[in-house]
């Protein structure tokens, strides 16, 4: 490269979440290459989920804060954010603008096009339209996504399922799409077993207790209620089971209260906010990972658990079946099917050799495609091909 490529990554907020961790990881890995001058443009990290802003600053990321870029639709703020982005893009003359998720993807791509950027890329981490959203919002999002696809040089998706769902809604054309799985420092999860005894002692987990873990914001559609509803039967079948909820959110009080009302609170641990760098430590405590979200791109917790050799029980939604193979490395359960969810968890709790077998099979599905280097090498090649 004769000169560094100027690249701007744009995301609505830098909270602790899958899309945000993916975006920051991409920026950090690109910064390790000498070919790029990378900026990260984001709105304020509001909410109880925690923020990745300090990690970005600690790693000397060139972070630009757009005060009016927020998650919820608000015409005045959205128009203001559009013009803030437009003036930043026009001033800095980026070679590539790369947007992430729905709100930043729509506003950022439109502002980038108006500012004259030739190469605009968008990553779909999860589709903004889904069965649990209001019809008018779904219609609006599909219309805007179709329009913005026309000005996108490429559209990345974190799974093939996201690509297929977008295409079925008429968003873009097949030649625009590239699947780039969400990369991370996978070795931290492969090696996390060394933390197991220390972490279990810290969390007061007894040696004979089996831990069912979930990693997700305590937020709507993430499935914590579903797991608690199943917990009583699981505990009845396996009294030595313990549930570990890793994460925070606006539903924490309601969920804690629910475990007390059901008189199973002794079997639950709520960790609160956990920095992403510490997630491997908490996974090391687990014997099974469960995932009951009703809406997801491809949850990073699934490859993280597999890298650690831990089997998975997940709802069969969106992209879960791209990494979880039923009866081989975990179990896929239909949404709302409590009986099969309970049966799957109890089967694994009662069979140590099956847990180990599933966990070892899971490891085969994560390397190399979920490593940060593999992800960034793909992105690096695509960037340079487009230039």
Residue 1 confidence (pLDDT): 54
Measured distance CA(274)–CA(282) in Å, rounded: 9
The CA distances from residue 323 to 302, 303, 362, in Å, are 8, 7, 8
Residue 284 confidence (pLDDT): 97
187-363 CATH: 3.40.50.2000
Q: Could you give the strand order of the β-sheet that contains 96-100, starting from the edge strand earlier in sequence?
A: 62-65, 36-43, 5-13, 96-100, 119-124, 154-157, 177-179
State the greatest distance between any 2 C-alpha atoms of the chain, in Å, as a whole number: 66
Among the listed residues 360, 359, 347, the one whose alpha carbon sits nearest the alpha carbon of residue 312: 359
Stretch(es) of the chain classified as CATH 3.40.50.2000: 5-183+371-386, 187-363
**Strand runs (DSSP E) across 250-315, as ranges?**
268-270, 288-291, 312-315
Residue 2 confidence (pLDDT): 65
Its sign, for the CA torsion 74, 76, 78, 84, is negative
Measured distance CA(200)–CA(215) in Å, rounded: 16
Given 3-state DSSP classes, what are the helix, strand and coil percentages for the chain, each rounded to the nearest 5? 45, 20, 35
What 3-state class would DSSP assign to 127?
coil
- Walk along the chain (387 residues) in steps of 10 and give the mean pLDDT of each run: 87 89 93 93 83 92 94 90 97 97 94 97 91 87 96 96 95 97 93 96 97 95 96 97 95 97 98 93 98 90 96 94 95 97 98 96 91 94 94
Residue 16 confidence (pLDDT): 85
Fold that domain 5-183+371-386 belongs to in CATH: Rossmann fold (3.40.50)
Residue 27 confidence (pLDDT): 95
Residue 128 confidence (pLDDT): 87
């Amino acid at each position: 490269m004769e000169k560094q490529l100027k690249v701007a990554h744009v995301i609505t907020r830098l909270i602790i979440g899958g899309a945000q961790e993916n975006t920051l990881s991409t920026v950090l890995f690109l910064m390790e290459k000498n070919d790029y001058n990378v900026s990260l443009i984001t709105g304020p990290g509001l909410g109880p989920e925690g923020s990745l802003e300090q990690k970005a600053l600690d790693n000397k990321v060139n972070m630009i804060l757009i005060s009016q870029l927020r998650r919820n639709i608000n015409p005045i703020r959205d128009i203001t954010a559009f013009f803030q982005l437009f003036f930043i893009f026009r001033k800095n003359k980026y070679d590539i603008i790369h947007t992430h998720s729905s709100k930043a993807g729509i506003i950022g791509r439109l502002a980038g096009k108006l500012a004259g950027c030739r190469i605009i890329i968008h990553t779909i981490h999860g589709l903004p339209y889904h069965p649990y959203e209001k019809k008018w919002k779904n219609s609006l999002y599909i219309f805007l996504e179709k329009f913005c696809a026309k000005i996108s040089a490429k559209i990345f998706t974190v799974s093939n399922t996201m690509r297929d769902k977008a295409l079925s809604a008429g968003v873009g054309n097949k030649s625009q799409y590239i699947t780039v799985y969400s990369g991370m420092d996978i070795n931290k999860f492969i090696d996390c077993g060394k933390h197991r005894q220390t972490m279990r002692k810290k969390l007061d987990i007894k040696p004979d207790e089996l831990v069912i873990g979930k990693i997700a914001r305590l937020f709507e559609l993430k499935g914590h209620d579903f797991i608690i509803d199943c917990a009583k039967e699981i505990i009845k079948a396996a009294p030595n089971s313990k549930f570990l909820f890793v994460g925070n959110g606006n539903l924490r009080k309601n969920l804690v209260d629910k475990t007390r009302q059901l008189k199973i609170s002794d079997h639950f641990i709520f960790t609160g906010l956990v920095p992403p760098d510490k997630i491997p430590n908490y996974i090391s405590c687990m014997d099974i990972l469960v995932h009951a979200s009703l809406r997801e791109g491809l949850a990073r917790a699934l490859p993280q658990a597999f890298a650690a050799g831990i089997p998975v029980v997940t709802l069969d939604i969106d992209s879960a079946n791209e990494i979880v193979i039923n009866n081989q490395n975990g179990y896929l359960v239909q949404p709302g099917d409590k009986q099969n969810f309970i049966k799957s968890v109890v089967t694994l709790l009662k069979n140590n050799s099956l847990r180990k077998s599933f966990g070892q099979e899971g490891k085969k599905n994560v390397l190399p495609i979920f490593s940060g280097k593999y992800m960034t090498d793909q992105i690096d090649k695509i960037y340079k091909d487009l230039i």
